[in-house]
Chains A and B, each alone.
Chain A
Amino acid sequence: MEDLSDLYQEIILSHNKRPRNGEPLIPCTHQADGFNPLCGDKLTVYLRKPDEQVDEIACNTEGCAISRASGSIMTSMVQGKTISEIETLIEETKALLTGDEEPEIDLAQHGDMAALVGVRKFPARIKCATLAWHALESALKGEVDATTE
């Protein structure tokens, strides 16, 4: 069961049970939904980004432990970062989870996301781990006014 304990580490279970920044952030300046129709994972990423920096972020997830933990970890890593720093983070995370080459874990660089590297051994679950990051990308691209009412 070595692979399994790789996937469901304590850090993942903790983020699943108590997601950080898990409540909807209203009003916000940017917002995007992430949805995986095959497994039913559903989440919304909210940003307060008045300029080139994300002041506040939230990710509200209805889904499995992997998607909830990934969203929670993502918010902890992104909070207070500039757009270019976030773009780097997104690239590093994609390489970590889906890159062709087995990644070298650098805790300083990957932070808690390193705990999700075990998902590489479970191809059916990789999308659960990337969903929040895709929604973050969409949220950064489009400003919404629907939530500023």
Chain B
Amino acid sequence: MIEIVSFDGTTFRPSPERFEAGTPNISGAIGLKAAIDYVNNIGWETIHKKESLLLDHANESLGKNPSIKLVGTAENKVPVVSFTIDSAHPHDIATILDTKGIAVRAGHHCTQPLMKRLGLSATTRASLSFYNTIDEINQLTEALKEISALFES
């Protein structure tokens, strides 16, 4: 932040203000408060319970398809589900899911050394959150059934 600006020169306020922009990120701060209120209203306990439920269902539902290999099955993990299907490349899986209204990430997830360690070139990853539903996971499972059948045919 400046102190005095003229054609002869500029002086700045003392640190730390001199390194700050004049107008703070006001709308950002208001948005952050709204987001915190939103999460607090639902409650961490509820969020955790819902996410555990979704993760369990995803593991069980996807695990029934022998073509799907789940990657990462640690007990206390957040509800992200990475997987591979031998016959179908993750980017093909992601494109097809996208056309069915299901957004996933495909690729090496910025973890190339881990992919190498796992002996994989890429995975597909569904990242769930408390606002997802059991029905949406079932849609994913159904879509993956179609995809593995398509590429295995």
A residues with a Cβ closer than 8 A to B are 1, 3-4, 7-8, 13, 16-17, 38-40, 62-66, 122, 124-125, 128
Given contacts A39-B107, A40-B122, A62-B121, contact A13 B153 (CB under 8 A): yes
**A8/B96 in contact, CB under 8 A:** yes
Decide yes or no: A40 and B96 within 8 Å by CB, A13-B153, A65-B89, A128-B91 being known contacts.
no
Residues of chain B with a CB closer than 8 A to A4's CB: 95-96, 99
Contacts of A3 in B (CB 8 A): 99
Q: Give chain B residues whose Cβ lies under 8 Å from the Cβ of A65.
A: 88-89, 92, 151
Are the CB atoms of A64 and B108 closer together than 8 Å? no
Residues in B with CB closer than 8 Å to A7 are: 95
CB distance from A11 to the nearest CB of B (A): 13
Interface of B: prevailing SS: mixed
Closest Cβ of chain B: how far from A4's Cβ, in Å?
5
Residue in A38, A40, A63, A125 whose beta carbon sits within 8 Å of that of B95 in the complex? A125
Q: Are B107 and A8 in contact (CB under 8 A)?
A: no
> Which residues in window 105-153 of B have CB below 8 A to A?
106-108, 121-122, 150-151, 153
The total of chain B residues at the interface (CB under 8 A) is 18
State whether B108 touches A8 (Cβ < 8 A).
no
How many Å lie between the Cα of A38 and that of B107 in the bound state?
A: 8
The interface residues of chain B lying within 8 Å CB-to-CB of A17 are 87, 151
CB distance from B89 to the nearest CB of A (A): 4
CA of A66 to CA of B93 in the docked complex: distance in angstroms? 12
A40 pairs with B108, CB closer than 8 A: yes
> Once bound together, how far apart are the Cα atoms of A66 and B122, in whole Å?
15
Which of A7, A40, A62, A124 has the most chain B CB within a 10 Å cutoff?
A40
By a CB distance below 8 angstroms, the chain A residues around B99 are: 1, 3-4
In this complex, what residue of A is CB-closest to B87?
A: A17
Tell me the bound Cα distance from A66 to B89 in angstroms: 10
Asked whether, in the complex, the Cβ of B121 is within 8 Å of the Cβ of A66, the reply is: no
